[in-house]
Amino acid sequence: MSATRSTRRAEFLAGCRDEAPLQLGVVPFGMLYGIGALAAGMPAWLAQLASALVFAGAAQLVIVQMLTAAAGVLPIGLTASLLNLRHVLYSASVADHVRHLPRRWRLLLAYLLTDEAYAVAILRYQTSTADDGATATTAGMPDLRHWYFLGCGFTLWATWQLSTAAGLLFGATIPAEWDIDFAVPLTFIALLTLLLRERAGQAAALVAALGALAFATLPYKLGLVAAILLGLLAGVWAARFARDGK
Amino acid sequence: MSTAALIGLLVAVGLVTFLYRYAMIGLFASRNLPGWLHALCRHIAPASFAALTASALFVHGGEVAIDLATPKPWAALVAALVAWRTRSVLATIGTGMAALYLLKFLL
């Protein structure tokens, strides 16, 4: 039994260790979110709470940007929900590995299933079998890799909360005339450049950008939602065209 | 937006996001997602970021205002070039903000 307990601990710590290098990329986003949230007029306590409730960096930055643009509740909710849709794919991807776990474990791991935690945890699942854990050498050991998953998720969660808090503290000292909220669209530009490797994605981005201007007069910034949906159609259509039209 | 509306929004987005994450782990037995969902998810991030960037640069108070005498479009252009050359998010934000301050000083 104590062998199992020490293996749990080892798995958890291995997850923390393997997730650690990714925190270098997470901290600036968390801080930027905190700074941007204050600049957008969010109360600090609510911005911090949102990091626990939503726990999705890109969606939180999008919410901040749309609040800055004075968008309505519905367009912000729709856009953030659309942006987070990819988590269904992650959920499907890890499902076979966590299906045997008790519900409280599945609820906990689902809550922690972010981009960065998924990326590290799925690698562990795909490159090992149930009983060849980091330290488990005894054949027939129970599958304890969910402790590794928990280590990944916990590490990211802690970093996200702390970097949000750091951004809120730091942001409170930045004067409004510094235009610090401009850092959020700059982040989108950086991420866009990383994402635009294929033609279909470029088509989606171009149409969405043009759509954002074409539908700018729609109330509550609903034009943004329409632009994104139109961009999605363009992307899917361009991908099909590239596949069929050779 | 009122604080109450903002709380409601954040709780709703948090709940939806959690349901996405829990969907295939705890809610649905089938794990074969349709191909169109994969295809769609590839384009959601680029489309969203592009629409928000275009809006942040060229929409003010619900009106399209493409004013090239203001610093932000040019700072964004500098940032895009840096992003393209370095593929670094931090370098992009850093030079973009520096370009904004410089242009605000010059213009």
pLDDT digits (tens, 9 = 90+) for B8-44: 999 999 999 999 999 999 888 766 788 888 888 889 9
Q: Where are the domains of chain A?
A: 2-72+85-177, 196-244
With beta carbons less than 8 A apart as the criterion, state whether B74 and B100 touch: no
Counting one residue from chain A and one from chain B, the pairs whose CB atoms sit within 8 A come to 275
Tell me the average pLDDT of chain A: 91
Looking at chain A from residue 157 to 196, which residues have their Cβ under 8 Å from any Cβ of chain B?
179-180, 182-196
Q: Do B10 and A63 touch (CB under 8 A)?
A: yes
Alpha carbon of A129 to those of A101, A119, A126: distances in Å?
A: 16, 17, 8
Ranges A13-27, A124-138, B92-106: which has the least confidence: A124-138
Q: Is the ipTM of this complex over 0.85?
A: yes
| CA proximity to A241, closest of A208, A202, A209, A194 | A202
* Beta carbons within 10 angstroms of residue B49's beta carbon: 29
Residue A91 pLDDT greater than 80, yes or no = yes
Structure token pair of residue A51: 């990091």
Q: What is the pLDDT of residues A102-160, one digit of tens each?
A: 999 999 999 999 999 999 999 999 887 765 554 444 456 688 999 999 999 999 999 99
Residues in chain B: 107
For residue A207, CA distances in Å to A185, A191, A236 come to 18, 17, 12
Report pLDDT for A135.
46
Residue B6 with chain A: CB contacts under 8 Å: 42, 46, 67
What pLDDT is attached to residue A137?
A: 45
Q: Do B5 and A71 meet the contact criterion of CB atoms below 8 Å apart?
A: no
Long-range contacts from B38-43, C-beta under 8 angstroms, 24+ separation: B38/A89, B39/A235, B39/A236, B39/A239, B40/A85, B40/A232, B40/A236, B41/A85, B41/A86, B41/A88, B41/A89, B42/A200, B42/A201, B42/A235, B42/A239, B43/A200, B43/A201, B43/A204, B43/A231, B43/A232, B43/A235, B43/A236
Q: What is the mean pLDDT of chain B?
A: 92
Give chain A's length: 246
Residue with tokens 């992009």: B92
Number of neighbours of residue B47 by Cβ within 10 angstroms: 34
Contacts of A212 (CB under 8 A, 6+ apart): A223, A224, A227, B50, B51, B52, B54, B55, B59
Task: Tell me if A192 sits within 8 A of B49, measured CB to CB.
Answer: yes
Contact across the interface for A88 and B38, Cβ inside 8 Å: no
Spatial separation of the C-alpha atoms in residues A37 and A183, rounded to whole Å:
12
Question: Do A211 and A227 touch, CB atoms closer than 8 A?
Answer: yes
Contact A46, B7 (CB under 8 A): yes
Average pLDDT over residues A204-213: 96
- Picking from A62, A188, A199 by the largest number of B CB atoms within 10 A of its own CB, the best residue to mutate is A188
